[in-house]
């Protein structure tokens, strides 16, 4: 399954790498989230090795700007990853998105069409977000959703243990495996 609802494809003229590389570190994607009078889109930048959510943004449009903002924040706070993997949505094939990655020296990887298995880790995150927060809270508007997601991702990174990581949190795994790297500090 690509997302619960297929909302975009690659746009004509947007970049598509010729090959999909198997090495993955950061994986952004976006689902739609229900609110009282419609829905909003969520993009999250996820460190695949630790499952840590590095940044996220919410938007009421599918333009690339909110995705680029989340990516730019993640790179500024945590440094550029070796590689970024996405689906082939128009946000991720846009010049705005690929320019940020090119400038930072990040390799670009995109899932092949119909490769639902490539999305399995981010789909697990979306399931957790929805069933542990969104569906339980039934947010009224974007401001409430943004505040709720800020709380949820703080919980997810700092206190929610993962069986895959021997019941450690994403923060414990991320900062243990990246201890030798200088970390940028955000104010």
In the chain, the domains with their CATH numbers are 26-177 (3.30.420.10)
Return mean pLDDT, the chain: 80
Q: Which residue has the higher pLDDT, 169 or 15?
A: 169
User: What is the rounded (10 degree) CA torsion for 83, 98, 58, 126?
Assistant: -40
List the beta strands (DSSP E) in 48-181. Answer: 52-59, 83-86, 107-110
> What does the pLDDT average to over 107-122?
75
Quick one: how far is CA 11 from the chain centroid?
20
Q: Which residue has the higher pLDDT, 80 or 13?
A: 80
């Amino acid at each position: 399954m690509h997302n619960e609802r297929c909302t975009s494809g690659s746009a004509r003229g947007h970049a598509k790498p010729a090959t999909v590389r198997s090495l993955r570190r950061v994986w952004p994607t976006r689902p739609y989230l229900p609110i009282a009078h419609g829905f909003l889109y969520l993009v999250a930048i996820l460190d695949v090795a630790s499952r840590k959510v590095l940044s996220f943004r919410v938007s009421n449009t599918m333009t690339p700007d909110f995705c680029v903002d989340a990516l730019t924040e993640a790179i500024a706070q945590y440094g550029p990853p070796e590689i970024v993997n996405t689906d082939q949505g128009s946000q991720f094939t846009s010049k705005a998105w690929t320019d940020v990655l090119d400038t930072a020296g990040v390799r670009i990887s995109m899932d092949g069409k119909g490769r639902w298995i490539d999305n399995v880790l981010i789909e697990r995150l979306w399931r957790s977000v929805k069933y542990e927060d969104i569906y339980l809270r039934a947010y009224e508007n974007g401001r409430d959703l943004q505040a709720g997601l800020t709380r949820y991702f703080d919980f997810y990174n700092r206190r929610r243990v993962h069986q895959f990581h021997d019941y450690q949190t994403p923060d414990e795994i991320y900062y243990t495996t990246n201890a030798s790297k200088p970390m940028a500090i955000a104010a």
